[in-house]
Structure 1
Amino acid sequence: MAGSAQRQYRTITTRVPARLDRLPWSRWHWMIVIGLGTVWILDGLEVTVVGAIAGRLSEEGSGLPVTDAQVTGLAAALYVAGACAGALFFGRLTDLFGRKKLFLITLAVYLGATAMTALSFSSWWFFLFRFLTGFGIGGEYAAINSAVDELIPSKYRGRVDLVINGSFWLGAVAGSLLSVVVLDTSLFALDVGWRLAFALGVVLGFAVLLVRRHVPESPRWMLIHGRAEEAERLVDDVEEQVAAEHGGRPLPEPGRAMTVRQRRSTGFGEIAGTLVRTYPKRAVLGFSLFVGQAFLYNAITFGFGTILVRFFDVPSGSTGYYFAVIALGNFLGPLLLARSFDTVGRRPMIAGTYVISGLLLFATAWLFGTGRLSAVTLTACWCVVLFFASAGASSAYLTVSEIFPMETRAMAIAFFYAVGTAAGGIAGPLVFADLTSSGVPGETALAFCVGAALMTAAGLVAAFFAVPAEGRSLEDIATPLSVTAPSPADAPTPAAPASRER
């Protein structure tokens, strides 16, 4: 393969995006989902294990001189800070060097940092590698979401993206149940069990890496970066596989062609101008959705184990059961509601899930603050709130990965993830840790109310600014910068003009 310096950048006309979008569902698409989507399971495992073992790490004899507030506050904030930094760093590289290279590198970073976390011997070591684990996971968000959206047909893109992002909670279920086992001191020593939980993440990560090696580069990215012939050959091969799987029946005719002026890279200035000047309403939408969901999840679920122990006297070794229940509710939300994002539509579903979860969270805060909840009923309330919130949060990633041009996609995901998560996910856990450690129900309820207010506000923004992207090609939603006839800002983007077929 020729290096980028030796490639010839020219103007081409192609139907590759239209050919990908018209494909029926196949085993090839399942390979994409399994190879790329399973990383969210690892992220869910990571976050939940730390939340579940917070009480154990602060106990005498755990091997680490930390408090539960440091684990749910400082360590959580460092993990999120690492994720924000990793998203921005790897997001830029993903747009420059391709999706495939980066989703292999980011997974390797995650694996190494998680292994080092399991070997922690001091608090500074633990905090350092929590940051680096987040650094790898943040890069995954940018590389994976951009690749998934560019490889999955437009008819299925919404539901697939939501279920993939919602699979975070399958990892949370696994992490919760795993914590019950590894925290059982009749099975593992006090300073051994929590290390095994992180070690399992490494084992699962290697399994994902084996599958991911077979996931191809995005043909859409190759088209723009001087590799049109490779993109055409890849899509030819995929079409042959899919046609054979469907009994050799002819595939539907692809849509219109587009003409692309190839380029080596897109500068920061052009990216920033596209996000802020060309699509200002979409930028406000992306920021609002990420702030709302990030504060709710990073500020509240990181401290759920501490709430159970401090307010309801649940043993630290049993909090995993409660985590498993709310995690299952979280996964059922995207699983059961995902299809509606492609049929009912993006705008009503995004706005509805955000507003409903926000209002339900206000109700939960009131019940908790007035002492009307037990550990069981609080968990039940969370299941209902997070059923809707999880679908909404997953739709935030879907939204920012499909409403901006191809050349800015990974960086847009990284930017909104980093800015929104930093606002809610770094400040949130630090504030929330102080509120829960006070032992005053009213102060903890206040944190719930802040999260509820931000979720509700984000839903109202979506009601006005969400883009009706259901069933539309990525190029129709936002014309690539390399296409010769871009569309007006924040207006429905027409398909590229028809031209000769290559």
Structure 2
Amino acid sequence: MSTGAGTPSRSGGSTGSGANGGGAAGGGSTTSDIPARLDRLPWSRWHWTIVVGLGTVWILDGLEVTVVGNIAGRLSEPGSGLSISSGQVTGTAAALYVAGACVGALFWGRLTDHFGRRKLFMITLAVYLAATALTSLSTEAWWFFLFRFLTGFGIGGEYAAINSAIDELIPAAYRGRVDLMINGSFWLGAVGGSLLSILALDTAFLPENIGWRLTFALGAVLALVILLVRRHVPESPRWLLIHGRDREAEEIVSGIERKIEDQQGHALPAPEGRLEIHRRGSVTFLEIARTVFGRYRRRAVLGFSLFIGQAFLYNAITFGFGAILTRFFDVPADRTGYYFAVIAVGNFFGPLLLGKLFDTVGRRVMISSTYLLSGLLLFGTAWLFDRGSLSATTLTACWCAVLFFASAGASSAYLTVSEIFPMETRAMSIAFFYALGTAAGGISGPLIFADLTSTGHVGDTVLAFQIGASLMCVAGLVAAALAVRAEGRSLEDVATPLSSTAPSGVGVG
């Protein structure tokens, strides 16, 4: 048992020089086993607190995106209380939400690396809560547009702050499945959004100027509940450690260990491995760019491929989803929400059921196979659609099969970029690739796929499917060659922190 310069721990500790082992960043160094202690923890109730407090926000994102798409028709009606057209809702407002998410990811991502995970995931959720609540009060189009942008601005920041915090708090043996399950929970929100919009649009239950407002207000209420739970989530001890606050990190980890030992009734095993950190000032944008695109350029290519592939596959299916069912299969427009709820369930079960394999079979095999399988299945769907062999039900079943694998693959893209770059650049790396994928989906998607799926020609819709399938298969092949075997490994082993005095354990690929 070793102890640090700060609070003693039953399982380990830190030793420091300069800044008395627990001061501000800049100067001196410290040697700590805190990362090893976090990674050797067994799964516990404390970890479920992290999952609920941090992970459930994706449900809100899914709820937001789905509700707005489904209630566009109601908002444009004269009695809605809002002077806006359906095209403005699905066009201008949707584009502003996407733009807000991209800007927010980059803005908050930088601050998350600089000021810490906890401070930012509290602020970004508060921004989302306020913006979506104010959206429900819209009486003018400009007000609706402004707060759709700010809602996206908060959600974009959540992706950077939350994914970095989750990966740094969850033990290495569980990191893959937890990350996939959390990112996949977006589709639980999509299911809820589909069903909620059906209820909100039913004037037998709610007046036409009230129902849509309550859907946004519900999002704010859910965010408030999550905010209350999130108060109990600590700062990342890993972030504290590299910022010279190792005494605080020691106190947090010791407290977690005490809780888990009390629950289990026996002492935890001794940690293995220590990390020496040299305290330094803030990392500049130039250093982040050199690290991500220079030292880890192969990993940057991997992240780029994964995000672009999944963005285009999802746009190939979801853009014009309702139009395809209505135009080719005569499904009434007010019934398409049920079909969307079905494929949303398929999306959720992919990460839920396949997630464990990313920790056991491994990242490279699972990432490449989920991308390739979803691409090949979409090629098959395009062929059947072209032959006229599908009905609305069987097409939806095909989409479910495609998205079962695609959702696990897409979730693994977020997992990948959150664990393959150094600690000091983590949130900014997540933010960059998230913004890249979101922009590709929100800008390129409408330009390419909306026109193809709206022409009413079978061949154009088939081409949309084939484009998405091709890019997904290319990303799968890139993953087969470049994916990092990060399963069960400490984040510091996958990508050594820039502050570490030890050489990288994985090279610069």
Q: Which TM-score band applies after superposition, normalised by the shorter structure? A: over 0.9
Answer 1 or 2: higher relative contact order, Cα 8 Å, separation at least 6.
1
Q: In the alignment, which residue of structure 1 is the partner of 2:14? A: none
RMSD: 2.1
Equivalent of 2:482 in 452, 457, 465 = 465
Q: In the alignment, which residue of structure 2 is the partner of 1:433? A: 450
Give yes or no for contact 1:282–1:403 (8 Å, CA) kept in 2: yes
Equivalent of 1:377 in 369, 380, 394 = 394
**Matches for 1:49-198 after TM superposition, within 5 Å:** 49-59=67-77, 61-198=79-216
User: Is 1:487 aligned to residue 500 of structure 2?
Assistant: no
Q: What's the secondary structure of 1:102's corresponding residue?
A: helix
- Mapped partners of 1:298, 1:191: distance in 2: 31
**Matches for 1:6-405 after TM superposition, within 5 Å:** 9-59=27-77, 61-247=79-265, 249-298=266-315, 300-301=317-318, 303-405=320-422
Q: What's the secondary structure of 1:153's corresponding residue?
A: coil
Report the CA distance between 1:6 and its aligned residue: 6.2
Deviations 1:125-172 (A, max 9, x none): 333322221111110000000000000000000011110111111111
Provide closer, same or farther for how the CA distance between residues 155 and 299 of structure 1 changes in structure 2, counting only shifts above 3 A: same
- Mapped partners of 1:458, 1:70: distance in 2: 33
Give yes or no for contact 2:307–2:433 (8 Å, CA) kept in 1: yes
- Mapped partners of 2:334, 2:301: distance in 1: 42
Report the CA distance between 1:217 and its aligned residue: 0.2
Deviations 1:65-101 (A, max 9, x none): 5554443344333222211111100000000000001
Report the CA distance between 1:402 and its aligned residue: 0.3
- Mapped partners of 2:141, 2:463: distance in 1: 30
Q: For residue 157 of structure 2, what is the amino acid of its counterpart? A: G
- Mapped partners of 1:373, 1:50: distance in 2: 29
Give yes or no for contact 2:26–2:280 (8 Å, CA) kept in 1: no
Provide closer, same or farther for how the CA distance between residues 189 and 312 of structure 1 changes in structure 2, counting only shifts above 3 A: farther
Q: What's the secondary structure of 1:13's corresponding residue?
A: strand
Provide closer, same or farther for how the CA distance between residues 373 and 194 of structure 1 changes in structure 2, counting only shifts above 3 A: farther
Report the CA distance between 1:193 and its aligned residue: 1.9
Q: For residue 309 of structure 2, what is the amino acid of its counterpart? A: G
Provide closer, same or farther for how the CA distance between residues 437 and 188 of structure 1 changes in structure 2, counting only shifts above 3 A: farther
Q: In the alignment, which residue of structure 1 is the partner of 2:11? A: none
Provide closer, same or farther for how the CA distance between residues 126 and 451 of structure 1 changes in structure 2, counting only shifts above 3 A: farther
Q: What's the secondary structure of 1:259's corresponding residue?
A: strand
- Mapped partners of 1:445, 1:196: distance in 2: 38
Deviations 1:5-29 (A, max 9, x none): 9666420000000000000111111
Provide closer, same or farther for how the CA distance between residues 333 and 32 of structure 1 changes in structure 2, counting only shifts above 3 A: same
Report the CA distance between 1:367 and its aligned residue: 3.1
Aligned residues: 489
Q: What's the secondary structure of 1:448's corresponding residue?
A: helix
Provide closer, same or farther for how the CA distance between residues 199 and 304 of structure 1 changes in structure 2, counting only shifts above 3 A: farther
Provide closer, same or farther for how the CA distance between residues 125 and 373 of structure 1 changes in structure 2, counting only shifts above 3 A: farther
Give yes or no for contact 2:99–2:439 (8 Å, CA) kept in 1: yes
- Mapped partners of 1:198, 1:297: distance in 2: 24
- Mapped partners of 2:360, 2:240: distance in 1: 31
TM-score (norm 2): 0.91
- Mapped partners of 1:119, 1:302: distance in 2: 28
Q: What's the secondary structure of 1:260's corresponding residue?
A: strand
- Mapped partners of 2:336, 2:63: distance in 1: 15
Equivalent of 1:408 in 425, 432, 436 = 425
Q: What's the secondary structure of 2:71's corresponding residue?
A: helix
Report the CA distance between 1:348 and its aligned residue: 0.7
Q: For residue 138 of structure 1, what is the amino acid of its counterpart? A: G
Provide closer, same or farther for how the CA distance between residues 421 and 156 of structure 1 changes in structure 2, counting only shifts above 3 A: same
Provide closer, same or farther for how the CA distance between residues 432 and 193 of structure 1 changes in structure 2, counting only shifts above 3 A: farther
Gaps (5+ residues) in structure 1?
493-502
Q: For residue 466 of structure 1, what is the amino acid of its counterpart? A: A
- Mapped partners of 2:250, 2:418: distance in 1: 23
Give yes or no for contact 1:299–1:424 (8 Å, CA) kept in 2: no
Identity %: 72
- Mapped partners of 1:351, 1:387: distance in 2: 14
Query: Please, which moves more after superposition, 331-340 or 316-325?
Result: 316-325
- Mapped partners of 1:7, 1:487: distance in 2: 22
Q: What's the secondary structure of 2:209's corresponding residue?
A: coil
Provide closer, same or farther for how the CA distance between residues 441 and 55 of structure 1 changes in structure 2, counting only shifts above 3 A: farther
- Mapped partners of 2:240, 2:311: distance in 1: 32
Q: What's the secondary structure of 2:205's corresponding residue?
A: coil
Query: Please, which moves more after superposition, 47-56 or 15-24?
Result: 47-56
- Mapped partners of 1:363, 1:349: distance in 2: 21
Report the CA distance between 1:301 and its aligned residue: 2.2
- Mapped partners of 2:319, 2:206: distance in 1: 24
Report the CA distance between 1:111 and its aligned residue: 1.1
Q: What's the secondary structure of 1:200's corresponding residue?
A: helix
Q: In the alignment, which residue of structure 2 is the partner of 1:495? A: none
Provide closer, same or farther for how the CA distance between residues 366 and 122 of structure 1 changes in structure 2, counting only shifts above 3 A: farther
Give yes or no for contact 2:417–2:429 (8 Å, CA) kept in 1: yes
Q: In the alignment, which residue of structure 2 is the partner of 1:423? A: 440
Q: What's the secondary structure of 2:43's corresponding residue?
A: coil
Q: For residue 431 of structure 1, what is the amino acid of its counterpart? A: I
- Mapped partners of 1:282, 1:461: distance in 2: 10
Query: Please, which moves more after superposition, 52-61 or 178-187?
Result: 52-61
- Mapped partners of 1:208, 1:137: distance in 2: 14
- Mapped partners of 2:315, 2:99: distance in 1: 11
Report the CA distance between 1:54 and its aligned residue: 3.2
Report the CA distance between 1:489 and its aligned residue: 7.3
Provide closer, same or farther for how the CA distance between residues 66 and 302 of structure 1 changes in structure 2, counting only shifts above 3 A: farther
TM-score (norm 1): 0.92
Deviations 1:374-426 (A, max 9, x none): 32222111111100000000000000000000000000000111123212332
Give yes or no for contact 1:299–1:425 (8 Å, CA) kept in 2: no
Report the CA distance between 1:108 and its aligned residue: 1.0
Q: For residue 476 of structure 1, what is the amino acid of its counterpart? A: D
Provide closer, same or farther for how the CA distance between residues 426 and 444 of structure 1 changes in structure 2, counting only shifts above 3 A: same
Give yes or no for contact 1:55–1:305 (8 Å, CA) kept in 2: no
- Mapped partners of 2:50, 2:174: distance in 1: 13
Provide closer, same or farther for how the CA distance between residues 292 and 254 of structure 1 changes in structure 2, counting only shifts above 3 A: same
